Homo-oligomer: A and B are copies of this chain.
Amino acid sequence: MMIKDFNIREKFAHISEYWTPKVVAELNGQYVKLAKLKGEFVWHDHENEDELFQVIEGTLFMDFRDGSTKTIKRGEVLVVPKGVEHKPWTKEEVWVMLFEPKVTKHTGDVQYEKTVTNLEWI
């Protein structure tokens, strides 16, 4: 493995699609991913993996099955524990940095038209 450094915002220039996480780094069996989000995603959970969202730009809303919604703004972090169903959505374009195990699928156990199976590095 090599020493790696990058500017988070500059990396987003390489992302054109929404809901399509791209890998920017790996460490300790985890991936750091960047994604642009807009609109609604699917309800899903990750049976064995916790997931961290850091909002780089915009405001991310996260619905939970108890009816609550977390509002995560730029500079804020949300950790969703394994097994907790969640549904991300946004009103505008949102940039997030994700931290999760390499095995994590972004739609969890739900196969969906938006499920990306071949992760691309940027």
Q: Mark A residues whose CB is within 8 Å of B.
A: 1-9, 24-25, 27-28, 30, 32, 49-52, 54, 64, 70, 72-73, 75-82, 84, 99-101
Nearest neighbor of A25 in chain B, beta-carbon distance: B79
CA distance A24 to B78 in the complex (A): 11
Q: Is the CB–CB distance between A70 and B5 below 8 Å?
A: yes
List of B residues within 8 angstroms of A5 by Cβ: 70, 72, 76-79
Please give the distance in Å from A78's CB to the nearest CB on chain B.
4
Q: How many copies does the complex hold?
A: 2
Main secondary structure of the interface of A (DSSP, over half): strand
Q: Is the CB–CB distance between B30 and A79 below 8 Å?
A: no
A1-B50 contact given A28-B101, A30-B28, CB 8 Å threshold: yes
Give the 3 A-B CB pairs with smallest separation, nearest first: A27-B50, A1-B81, A5-B78
Nearest neighbor of A71 in chain B, beta-carbon distance: B5
Can you name 7 extra interface pairs (CB under 8 A) apart from A3-B84, A8-B75?
A1-B50, A3-B79, A7-B73, A27-B99, A32-B52, A32-B77, A99-B99
